[in-house]
């Protein structure tokens, strides 16, 4: 059965790179442009894994993760943060919000796919 990955990132280029890497690994990819849009997409799909950026307009990644975790049905959905940020305080804030893991941009497609496979199992 095909695993579904929701990617939430305001950069079209990054969304395209994620879609390409994940689709090549046989994942179905659903995309959103920011946290608000991500919550809208979540109301219509059941992703196995969520990948989100932190720095986005309208609702940032922290707010998005917190909103996802408030939904009982989504408490167990793995959330990977994909960001240019590498600050320890931000990593801790993401963990406290409910993030499962952290990947720094630019990402290695093979390592990204491996991380998604690990948490989607």
C-alpha span between 73 and 28 (Å, rounded): 20
- pLDDT at 4 > cutoff 90: yes
CATH of range 4-116; options 3.30.465.10, 3.40.50.620, 3.40.50.2300, 3.30.565.10? 3.40.50.2300
Q: What is the pLDDT of residues 19-77, one digit of tens each?
A: 999 999 999 999 999 999 999 999 999 999 999 999 999 999 999 999 999 999 999 99
pLDDT at 39: 98
- pLDDT at 1 > cutoff 90: no
3-state DSSP of the chain: CCCEEEEECCCHHHHHHHHHHHHHCCCEEEEECCHHHHHHHHCCCCCCEEEECCCCCCCCHHHHHHHHHHCHHHCCCCEEEEECCCCHHHHHHHHHHCCCEEEECCCCHHHHHHHHHHHHC
- The overall average pLDDT reported for the chain is 95
Domain parsing of the chain, residue ranges:
4-116
């Amino acid at each position: 059965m095909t695993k579904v990955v929701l990617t939430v990132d305001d950069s079209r280029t990054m969304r395209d790179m994620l879609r390409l890497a994940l689709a090549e690994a046989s994942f179905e990819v659903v995309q959103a442009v920011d946290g608000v849009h991500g919550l809208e997409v979540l109301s219509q799909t059941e992703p196995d894994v969520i990948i989100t950026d932190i720095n986005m307009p309208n609702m940032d990644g922290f707010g998005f993760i917190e909103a996802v975790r408030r939904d009982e049905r989504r408490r167990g959905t793995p959330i990977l943060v994909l960001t240019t940020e590498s600050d320890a305080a931000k990593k801790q804030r993401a963990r406290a919000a409910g993030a499962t893991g952290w990947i720094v941009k630019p990402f290695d497609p093979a390592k990204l796919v491996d991380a998604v496979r690990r948490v989607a199992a």
